[in-house]
Amino acid sequence: MAAKEKTRYSDSELVEFKDLIVKKIEESRAELKDYQDQISKKNTGSSDTDYKFNGLEDSSLLVEREYLSQQASRQAKFISHLEKALVRIENKTYGICRETGKLISPERLRIVPHATLSIEAKKSQNK
């Protein structure tokens, strides 16, 4: 008799993933706050120097502010994906590929805890 393939992760495995995700959310929120603090510093114009050299400095501030805004946006999106993964844990649907219905490997979930596709599904999607 063949061993039955698992259709979902056990409660203890889900707790392990939940702990990992909660930790990542905390780290990501701290990082997001840093970006937001840096952006607000740039917006007030408080820099190490109280004078402006010329328009070149203004444009470099603008570029840096845009970069920080993009990073903050990416971080907020990442946090949102992690929070949705927590909902899937609560619903006991975490780790199930939305394309194949099979379990996503635990190795992949440890690296990309918000993954909703198995490696196979991701590869076929990118073709």
Q: What is the CATH number of the domain that holds 95?
A: 1.20.120.910
* Higher local confidence (pLDDT), 21 or 58: 21
Q: What is the mean pLDDT of the chain?
A: 88
Model pTM?
A: 0.81
Domain assignment present for residue 1? The answer is: no
Domain assignment present for residue 6? The answer is: no
The helix (run of H) or strand (run of E) holding residue 59 is helix 55-90
- Asked if pLDDT for residue 84 goes beyond 90, the answer is yes
- How many domains are contained in the chain? 1
* Higher local confidence (pLDDT), 6 or 87: 87
For residue 88, give its domain range.
11-43+56-125
Domain assignment present for residue 99? The answer is: yes
Amino acid letter, 71: Q
Amino acid letter, 30: A
